[in-house]
Chain A
Amino acid sequence: MFLIALLLVGYPLFELIRSALAGPLGPSGAWHTISTRPVAMALLHTIEVSAAATALATLLGVAMALLIARSDLPYRRWFAGAWVAPLIIPAYVIGLAWLDAYTQAGLTDQVIHLSAGWIIGPVGVALLLGLQGAPLAYLLVLAALSSGRIGELEDAARIAGRAPARVLWEITLPLVKTAIFGSMLLVFVSSASDFGIPAILAIPASYSTVTTLIYSDLSFAGGSHAIASASSLSAVLGLLAIILLFTSNRVSRTSSSMERAAGHAGSARPLIAFGRYRKLAVSGCLFILVLTTVIPLIALYITSVSPAFRLELAPSHWVASAYISALSGSNISALGRSALISAVAAAIVATGGAVFALWNRRSTRLASLSSTLLSLPFALPGSVVAIAILLAWQRWLYGSLLIILIAYVARFAVIGIRTSAVTMGGLSDDLVHAARASGASARRASRDVIWPVLVPGIVTSFAIVFLLGIHELTMSSLLYGPSTQTFAVAVLASEEAGQTALTASLAMVVTVITALVAGVALFARSSRKIVAAEAGIEVPPWQE
C-alpha cells in the first residue's frame, strides 16, 4: 500500500520539485522563469481574481448560511439544497452557460436587449469563481452555525436584552469567524486552482492566469523549455495551495474544541425574522438562483438546439443537428473514453479505499503516512498534479489513456480512503467481537460484518469519483494525446473552434449525465438504511 502511495504521489511530486529546481534551467532558471513578465502577470492576475472571488463567495456564503440556519425564510430546506446544487455542474459548463445567457447576441440581449460583455474578462472570471466558491463557504459556515452551543449562547444574549441584529454581530459572527476565515482560504485556493472558468472567460480576453498559462505553455509551445517553465509555475502554485490549506487546517483545529462542544441547537426562534416580508425574501432568493443558474442553463439549452451561429428563440425552428454531431464521431468516442477511464478510476479508488481502510484499522505509522501522501493530490491544484504525473511517467506513457487514468486515481484516491474511513469509524471493534463471540471465524466476521457496512461507502465513492472523472478538464487538458481526448477536452476544443451550438449541446450532455448519476446516487442512498457515509468528504471538490 505504501509502495502504491509512493508510486502514485511521492515519485511524481519528487519529479516535479526536481524539475522545478534542477531542470535544464537550474534553481536560478526557475526564479528567472517566475520573474519574466508573462509569468508575473499571470500570477498577479490569479491573485487578483481569486481575492475578488473570495470576497464575493464569503459574503454570499455567510448570507446564505445565516438565512438557512437563523431565519424564518419559507422553504428553507429546499433552498438549503438548491444553494449547493451548482456544485455538481462542472465549472466550464457554468462558464459556457453564462456566455450564452448574458454576452452580446446572448439570451438576454435577444429578449430584453441587455447584455454584459464584461463577463468575458477578469470581472466575469472573478464573478463566476465567486459564485462557484459561495456554496463552499456556505457549507463550512453552515456546519459551524449548526454545531456546538452557539444557539444557546445567542439565546443567552437575547435573554440579556440584546436585539437580534446585535446578537448576530456580537455573538454569532465572532463565534463562526474561524469557519469564515477557513472557508476564505479554501475558496482562494480553489479559485486560484480553477482552470475551467478562466479557460472559457479569460482566454478569449487574452487575460492570462497561472492555470491558463500552464495550459498554453504545454499545449502550444512544447519543448523542454516549456515543460520546465510549466513545472516551475506549478511548483509555485502548489506551494501557495499547500501553505494556505495548512493555515486553514491549523485555524479550524484551534477552533474545533469550541465548535464541537455538545449542546442544544438553540431555540426555534429565528434571529432574522422576515415577518410579513417573507414573500419578498423568498422572491429575492429565487431571483438570485434564477439569475445565476436557471437562466444560464436555459440559454445553454436554447443555444444547443439553435442552428449554428444564431440564437433561435422560436421552438419551431429548433434543430437537433448539434446533438447528432455531439453524439457521433470523435465526440462520442471521447465520451466513451471519459466514461471508461472514469469508471475504472472510480472502481479502483472505491475498492482501494475500502482495502486501505481495512489495512488502516491497526493504525500504523506507515498507514498514516500513506494516507497523508494520498490526500495531497486532491488538495493540490489539478494542473500541478497533471504536471507532476507528466514529468514522472511521460517517458513510458505519454499520450496514452493510462497516464490519464493514473492522474485520476492519484487525484481522487483520497475520496475512497476518507469515505471508507468514515464508514469504518462507525464500525466499532465490538461489532466484530460480537460476531466472533457468536461463532464466526475472523474471515467470516469480516465477510458478514465488515464488508456489508463498507458497501454503501464503496458505492458512494464510486459515484463521486465517476462524476468527477466525467467532469475532469484541468488534468485531461494537459495530459491528453492525439487519440486520448476526454469529453471535457472535446468541449473545450469545440469552444475554441467557435462551434457554439455543438459546444452547448456537449455541455448539455455532460449536465444531463451529471443529473442522472447524482439522482441515482441520491436515490440509492436514501433507499439504504445505513448512511454511514453521510459525512463523506468534508470538503467538496473544487471545480475542474
Chain B
Amino acid sequence: MGPQPQAPDTCAVELRNVSIGYHGHAILRDIDLAIEPGELVAIVGPSGSGKSSLLRALGGFLDPSSGSLLIDGELVADGQYSVAPEHRRVGFVFQQYALWPHMSVRENVSYPWRTRGVGEMERNRLADELLDQVGLKGLENRSPGSLSGGQQQRVALARGLAGDPKLLLLDEPLSSVDAARRDELQSLISDVVRARHLTTLITTHDQREATALADRIVVLGDGAIAQCASPLELHDNPANGFVARFMGALNVFDIEIVEFRDGRLVARLSHDFGEIIARTSRCDFEERAILVARPEAIRLTSVDGGDQEGIIIRSVLNDGRSEVRIVTSSGVELRAFESGMPTRVAGERVGLVLENCSVLKGE
C-alpha cells in the first residue's frame, strides 16, 4: 500500500509563492515550501496564523489567491485553476472527526474506496484491515456516535488512510481528544504513516506534539513562515524571538547589549529594569537583540561562584526533574532545570551562570 517512493527530484508537495486570502484579507503571504516524499511535517503557529488555511488549500477546500500548489509534481491549484478535492487523492483528518453519522464505522472507512469503484467485498476487507491497524477491531458495525472521542478520531484516521492517498493531511487531529488518549494517538499516527512512507502534514498549536511527531516543523507567524527546520534545529537555533517563545523557550529577553568580550555578554533588559550576564559563543549584534537562556544550561553555584547572584523563589517537580524559579539580584526572573528532586528552599541564595545562551536578531 502507499505510493512508491518517488524519484528524488520530485517533491511530494510544493508551494510556490502561495498567498491565501479570505474576503480580501490576506491570511498567508508568499509561502514557499517543499516537502520530500515520506516526510512528516508539522505546521505550528498560534491560532489565526493560517495553518488550517494552508491545509485546506492543499485539500482543495480553499483556493489560493495566487502562487502554485503542486502535489506529487502535478499542479493542483494556482490563482485561476483548481483541481476539485475528489481528484486530488489526499486523505484528510478533521479536528472534529467529521464522521458521517448515518454510516457505520466500516462504511465510513470504506467510503474512499467506494467512490473509486472498489467492490463491496474488497473495500470492506480493506476497511477492516485498516480498522484493525488503528486498534478498532470489533467495532466495525458500530455507529460513530456511539464511540468515544479518541475512538472516533481513530476512525477518522483510518478513513484518511483509506483509498491509497498520495498525501495525508491532519488538521489539529489531537486537540479534541482528551489528554490521556493524546499520547497513544500521537504514536499511532506516527507509526501508521511512517510504516506506509506516506507524506503527511499535520497542524497543531502544541509545539511539544510537533516536536514529538515531526521530521520537520514549519512555524507560521504573521502570515509567513517564521522558520522551517528540524525539531532539534528549532530548539537550538530559533530564528527569532517569536520562534523561540513559540517553541516553548522559558527565558527569552529583549536586550540592549552593553558589552561582549570573551564569550561573556553583559546586557540590559529593553522593556524592564535589570541587567543580565550570559555566556555565549556568538554575538553578531551591536545594540538591540534577543537573548535566549536555556533552563537546562543555567548552572546554580555557590553565592560567589557565579556571574550574578540570585534568590530561589520556589522549586517544583516538572517532568521528572526539578524546575527552579529564581530572581536575580537585579530583578530578572529566570527558570532553570536541575536533575533530581526539587530540594531547593525558597529564600536560598545562589550564584548563577547562564551557559550556552543564544543571541538572536532583535525585533
Contacts and interface: CB of A to CB of B under 8 A. Distances in A.
Interface in A425-466: 426, 428-431, 433-442, 444-445, 448-449, 452-453
B98 A438 contact: no
Nearest to B108: A434
Interface stretch (B36-44, B84-92, B249-257): B84-92
Interface stretch (B110-118, B185-193, B280-288, B313-321): B110-118
How many chain A residues sit at the interface, stated as a range, is: 20 to 34
B101 A530 contact: yes
A365 interface: no
Contacts of B90: 437
B116 A436 contact: no
A185 B88 CA distance: 55
A434 B143 contact: no
Given A428-B98, A529-B101, A440 B59 contact: no
Contacts of B94: 430, 433-434
B45 interface: no
Contacts of B25: none
Nearest to B95: A430
Contacts of B116: 439
A438 B96 contact: no
B123 to A, nearest CB: 11
A434 B60 contact: no
B173 interface: no
| Most chain A CB inside 10 Å of its own CB: which residue of B85, B99, B111, B162 | B85
Contacts of B261: none
B100 interface: yes
Nearest to B110: A438
A530 B92 CA distance: 24
Interface in A208-243: none
A529 B96 contact: no
A453 B96 contact: no
A438 B159 contact: yes
A429 B115 CA distance: 19
Nearest to A433: B61
| Majority SS at the chain B contact face | loop
A445 B59 CA distance: 15
A434 to B, nearest CB: 4
| Most chain B CB inside 10 Å of its own CB: which residue of A428, A436, A532 | A436
Contacts of A532: 101
Given A439-B116, A444-B115, A434 B89 contact: no
A440 B86 contact: yes
Nearest to A449: B100
A477 B88 CA distance: 60
Nearest to A529: B143
B98 A430 contact: yes
B59 A433 contact: yes
| Most chain B CB inside 10 Å of its own CB: which residue of A434, A442, A453 | A434
A441 B117 CA distance: 13
Interface residues of B, number: 31
A433 B84 contact: no
Interface string A517-534: 000000000000110100
B59 A430 contact: no
Interface string A413-430: 000000000000010111
A438 B94 CA distance: 13
A442 B86 CA distance: 8
B98 A452 contact: no
A449 B115 CA distance: 12
B143 A428 contact: no
B43 to A, nearest CB: 18
A381 to B, nearest CB: 38
Contacts of A438: 86, 111-112, 115, 159, 162-163
Interface in A110-167: none
A530 B99 CA distance: 13
Contact of B59 (A431, A437, A442, A448): A437
A435 B163 CA distance: 12
B271 interface: no
B135 interface: no
Contacts of A428: 96, 98
B58 to A, nearest CB: 10
B263 interface: no
Given A433-B92, A436-B61, A441 B86 contact: yes
B23 interface: no
A452 to B, nearest CB: 4
A440 B102 contact: no
Contacts of B99: 431, 434
B5 interface: no
Given A436-B86, A439-B163, A444-B115, A431 B100 contact: yes
Nearest to A528: B102
Contacts of B111: 435, 438, 440, 448
B145 interface: yes
Contacts of B91: 437
Contacts of A435: 100, 111, 115
A440 B116 CA distance: 8
B140 to A, nearest CB: 16
Nearest to A451: B102
B201 to A, nearest CB: 13
| Most chain B CB inside 10 Å of its own CB: which residue of A426, A436, A438, A445 | A438
B101 to A, nearest CB: 5
Contacts of B59: 433, 437
A433 B57 CA distance: 12
Nearest to A437: B92
A435 B99 CA distance: 10
B84 A436 contact: yes
B159 A439 contact: no
B101 A453 contact: yes
A439 B101 contact: no
A439 B96 contact: no
Contacts of B101: 426, 453, 529-530, 532
A428 B101 CA distance: 11
Interface in B131-170: 143, 145, 156, 159-160, 162-163
A448 B84 CA distance: 17
A439 B112 contact: yes
Contacts of B145: 529
A435 B116 CA distance: 12
A430 B61 CA distance: 10
B100 A433 contact: no
B100 to A, nearest CB: 6
Nearest to A429: B61
Contacts of B160: 437
Contact of A436 (B85, B96, B100, B103): B85
Contacts of A529: 101-102, 143, 145
Nearest to A452: B102
Contacts of A444: 86, 115
Instruction: Sort A-B residue pairs by CB-CB distance and give the 10 closest, nearest first.
Output: A430-B98, A439-B115, A436-B85, A438-B112, A437-B92, A452-B102, A434-B98, A430-B94, A440-B115, A439-B86
Given A449-B100, A530-B102, 18 more contacts: A428-B98, A429-B61, A431-B100, A433-B92, A433-B98, A434-B92, A436-B60, A436-B86, A437-B86, A437-B88, A438-B111, A439-B86, A440-B111, A442-B84, A448-B100, A453-B101, A529-B143, A530-B101
28 contacts: A428-B96, A431-B99, A431-B100, A433-B85, A433-B94, A434-B92, A434-B94, A434-B100, A434-B156, A435-B115, A436-B61, A436-B85, A437-B60, A437-B90, A438-B111, A438-B163, A439-B163, A440-B115, A441-B84, A441-B86, A448-B100, A449-B100, A452-B100, A453-B100, A453-B102, A529-B101, A529-B143, A530-B102
Interface of A: 426, 428-431, 433-442, 444-445, 448-449, 452-453, 529-530, 532
Interface of B: 59-61, 84-92, 94, 96, 98-103, 111-112, 115-116, 143, 145, 156, 159-160, 162-163
